[in-house]
Amino acid sequence: MGHGRAGRQARAPVNAGGAHAAARTSGGTVLVTGASGMLGRAVAQRLVDDGWTVRTLQRRASGVEGALDVRGSVTDPETVARAVDGVAALVHLAAKVDIVGPEAEYVAVNVDGTRTVLDAARTAGVTRTVLVSSPSVAHTGDSLVGAGAGPAEPGSARGPYARTKAAAERLALAADQPGFRVVAVRPHVVWGPGDTQLVGRVVERARAGRLPVLGTGAPLIDTTYVDNAVDALVAALVAPEASYGQAYVVTNGEPRPVGELIAAICAASGVPVPRRHVPAALARAAGAGLDAAWARLPLPGEPPLTRFVAEQLSTAHWFDQRRTREALGWEPRVSLDEGLARLAASASAVDR
């Protein structure tokens, strides 16, 4: 991913004397689950750089310099118990994030796996846990305009990922108590160089000519550049105890029209900017039909569209960040435009 040595050299503290200074002096061992993904790897590397002893848990090598990898799944209690042994703090990112798949698989990893991690962490004497959640846990298909971190709603969240992440967040926050503090952080649409979720899918579909603008492209959405998400998670790890027991949405705080944002990502990545428009209602209906087809038939890969993605690309979702910034002592340091410039530089380097 784009967070190698070159990416880390330009890093600055979140706030002078703030969260990063606290992290450097906190010491102890922190476990990061899901550190083979873009965000998990970047969080683990940041913690190593800030002086923590870092252990990671995921199914393949994390690639984090200076961390001790434990290989395995959060669904295996013995592996989880070994990973949390002697750990003081935990950042739990491991999750099934695919856009399609049997709901039982999402439940096994996102709900049961989270329960296994929380139980093992409590038994091992972990005192602080940061659960990485998602704003989709409170998105029921309607626009979110200047919203806060609404309650996680497993019964009405859209799609198996959102439903199971909502259930996992409820489990985690219910476990918060003195001596075992838990906070949920919901980074919204994290992206950056090396991202295989938003950027990877946009680039792949734009190259193939399969990336229309849904509706007018005008609804405002907010996203989070990966460095800002990392900063927020580290800040949460060392935040005052009064900030725990709650959920916080993290974004860049720069909502833009979704059509403009996707065009900017395409331009930065050197792929064609989408010009064709598809009515939002038609896209949602098509997404629902494709969901049903992929659920019934043994079809390969991902569907070209799902109802969840269609809703995400045709409704507004941006969030009031004042409560998050005050509670975590954090603010984003990489603007959307700077993030796009970094994405373009990364794409140019790959092309060379």
Label residue 213 exposed, middle or buried (CB < 10 Å: 0-12, 13-18, 19+).
buried
Torsion angle (degrees, nearest 10) of CA 114, 116, 118, 119: 160
Sequence-distant (6+) residues with CB within 8 A of 285 are none
The answer to whether the beta carbons of residues 49 and 3 sit under 8 Å apart is no
The question of whether 225 is a catalytic residue gets the answer no
| CA 320 – CA 338 distance, rounded (Å) | 21
Q: What angle do CA 251, 96, 145 make, to 5 degrees?
A: 30
For residue 200, the SS3 value is helix
Of these residues, 106, 161, 225, 248, which one is catalytic?
161
β 317-319/181-187 pair status: unpaired
| CA 50 – CA 152 distance, rounded (Å) | 32
Label residue 197 exposed, middle or buried (CB < 10 Å: 0-12, 13-18, 19+).
middle
The answer to whether the beta carbons of residues 131 and 92 sit under 8 Å apart is yes
The answer to whether the beta carbons of residues 222 and 186 sit under 8 Å apart is no
β 247-250/181-187 pair status: parallel
Which candidate, 301, 219, 291, places its Cα nearest to that of 262? 219
The answer to whether the beta carbons of residues 71 and 30 sit under 8 Å apart is no
Question: Would you name the residues annotated as active-site residues?
Answer: 161
